[in-house]
Amino acid sequence: MDIHVDKDACVGCGLCVKDCPMHVYELQDSVSVAVRPNNCMGCLSCHEICPAQALEHRGIYAARRHYIDIKVCEMLRKVV
């Protein structure tokens, strides 16, 4: 697993550090650093919780997403 933290975007809130049960992240100089990327099981709750959207995971298995309402997404795409 390759985890990239955008140092410029990270606000150092430490939410990912608190949230991850496998202690993948640590705060170093007020920036989150993925110190144990091999412990990541790819739940992506850190993505959901990060207020700065500073995280990027590579080589991850993306779970099937049935819950997406395609009609709503099509409408949103027109707006966003």
Partner 1 sequence: MSAGYIDELHEAFHSDLVYRSEEIPLECSPKPKEMEQTLHGVMKLNGLVIRSLEEIAGRGANAVTYRAGKKFGHEVAKYFQKREDVEGALHELSDLLRGQYSFEVWKPEDKETFIIEENGETFIYLVFHDCIVRQTLRRNGLDQGGPLCQTLFGYVVGAIEEITGRKAKLEIVHTGPNACLKKLVLK
Where along the sequence are the contacts to partner 1 (CB under 8 A)?
21-22, 36, 38-39, 41-45, 47-48, 60-67, 69-70
Nearer residue to partner 1 within complex by CB, 67 or 79: 67
- When the beta carbons of 21 and 77 are compared against partner 1, the nearer one is 21
CB of 11 to partner 1, least distance (A): 21
Q: What is the DSSP letter of 6?
A: -
Least CB distance to partner 1 at residue 35 (A): 11
Residue 46 to residue 20: CA distance in whole angstroms? 7
Identify which of residues 11 and 41 has a Cβ nearer to partner 1 in the complex.
41
Report the SS3 class of residue 35.
coil
Q: Read off the tokens for 73.
A: 């997404």
Terminal CA-to-CA distance of the chain, rounded, Å?
A: 31
